[in-house]
């Protein structure tokens, strides 16, 4: 009976992610060294979702159980924890579920952290992993990929501090493949539709040759065909957007179907698992136990 327990401990230890600061240009950036499961082809794995922990929902506990079985780096795309009437700081709700994977998590904030008045608690809870306090944007390398984490709750226009940082970060990027994640989706079939907060970010990412974008905010799962800066189909050079607001808080109804939407679901909690190959990627939406919806595929970097 000891062998299965020892094996499980070894898997959890192997999944441990070590974060070290590194800013060659004086910018907010970091390097992520991953020693865990790198997928079937020895490539790194990135797994996550947004709109996660609510003390009145068991959905976050269900998605946390998925992470228990998924070594790799964890990311969040905002609205990490929802305020309840009894708690001024909602992160105990997060700690009880996704919190056990905190050491390998790189988050971004959402509107609930800011509008709920607990953005300080967000930075207190995640510490250095959340980027510089008050900024909440940063980048790191994962295998052969460059990963950019952005904050859509502060100005991201071309002349803003975040906008200038993003332009510099992408211009110094030497990786062939790049992924960006942030809270507000540029395109969505959920009730929030297109977010103006993501317009400038989307344009900067398109100019920077980014391949994959992941957002949350709408409590749905949605996959789009690769699109260019104008939102038109571009299979050769476009960015593929995923909306993964399925971390466990609740579900939203769909509004009208967004242009270029390929797959949509609003009934299943789950996480997206991305295997990052040197010049391509695999995605899979993994549902919680009992969920009947899934989505999987591959894409090439450009």
pLDDT in tens, 85-111: 666 788 999 999 999 999 999 999 999
pLDDT of the residue at 40 = 47
- Which residues are CB-neighbours of 69 under 8 A, at least 6 positions away? none
Distance (Å) of CA 161 to CA 96, 106, 248: 35, 21, 33
The 10 Å Cβ neighbour count of residue 267 is 12
pLDDT in tens, 137-194: 999 999 999 999 999 999 999 999 999 999 999 999 999 999 999 999 999 999 988 7
Number of residues in the chain = 302
Residue 19 pLDDT level (bands cut at 50, 70, 90): very low
Evaluate whether 78 touches 111 at the Cβ level (below 8 Å). yes
Give 105's strand partners. 74
User: Parallel, antiparallel, or unpaired for β 261-265 and 221-224?
Assistant: antiparallel
Evaluate whether 269 touches 74 at the Cβ level (below 8 Å). no
Q: Which CATH architecture has domain 2-300?
A: 4-Layer Sandwich (3.60)
- pLDDT of 8 above 60: no
Rg, C-alpha atoms of the chain: 18
Residue 16 pLDDT level (bands cut at 50, 70, 90): very low
Q: Across all residues in the chain, what is the average pLDDT?
A: 88
- Which residues are CB-neighbours of 248 under 8 A, at least 6 positions away? 49, 51, 52, 53, 54, 57, 58, 59, 60, 61, 62, 63, 64, 97, 269
Distance (Å) of CA 102 to CA 114, 127, 174: 20, 10, 28
pLDDT of the residue at 263 = 98
- pLDDT of 13 above 60: no
Joined together, the tokens standing for residue 72 give 């790799």
The domain limits of the chain are 2-300
Which one has a higher pLDDT value, 136 or 19?
136
Tell me how far apart the alpha carbons of residues 166 and 156 are, in angstroms, rounded to a whole number.
Answer: 9
pLDDT of the residue at 15 = 35
Joined together, the tokens standing for residue 212 give 């994959």
First CA to last CA across the chain, in angstroms?
A: 49
Tell me how far apart the alpha carbons of residues 58 and 64 are, in angstroms, rounded to a whole number.
Answer: 10
């Amino acid at each position: 009976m000891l062998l299965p327990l020892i094996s499980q401990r070894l898997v959890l230890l192997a999944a441990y992610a070590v974060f070290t600061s590194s800013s060659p240009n004086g910018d907010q950036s970091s390097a992520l060294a991953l020693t865990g499961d790198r997928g079937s082809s020895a490539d790194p794995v990135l797994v996550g979702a947004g709109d996660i922990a609510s003390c009145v929902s068991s959905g976050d506990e269900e998605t946390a159980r998925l992470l228990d079985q998924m070594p790799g780096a964890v990311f969040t795309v905002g609205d990490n924890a929802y305020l309840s009437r009894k708690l001024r700081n909602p992160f105990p709700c997060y700690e009880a579920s996704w919190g056990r994977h905190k050491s390998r998590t790189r988050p971004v904030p959402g509107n609930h952290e800011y509008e709920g008045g607990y953005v300080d608690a967000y930075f207190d809870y995640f510490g250095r992993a959340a980027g510089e306090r008050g900024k909440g944007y940063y980048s790191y390398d994962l295998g052969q990929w460059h990963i950019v984490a952005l904050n859509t709750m502060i100005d991201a226009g071309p002349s803003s501090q975040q906008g200038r940082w993003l332009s510099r970060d992408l211009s110094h990027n030497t990786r062939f493949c790049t992924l960006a994640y942030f809270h507000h989706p540029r395109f969505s079939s959920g009730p929030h539709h297109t977010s103006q907060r993501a317009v400038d970010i989307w344009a900067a990412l398109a100019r920077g040759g980014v391949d994959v974008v992941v957002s949350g905010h709408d409590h749905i799962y949605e996959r789009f065909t690769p699109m260019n800066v104008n939102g038109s189909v571009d299979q050769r050079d476009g960015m593929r957007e995923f909306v993964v607001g399925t971390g466990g808080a609740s579900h939203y109804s769909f509004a009208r179907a967004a242009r270029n939407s390929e797959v949509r679901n609003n009934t299943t909690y789950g996480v997206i698992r991305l295997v990052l190959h040197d010049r391509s990627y695999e995605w899979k939406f993994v549902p919680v136990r009992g969920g009947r919806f899934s989505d999987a595929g591959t894409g090439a970097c450009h």
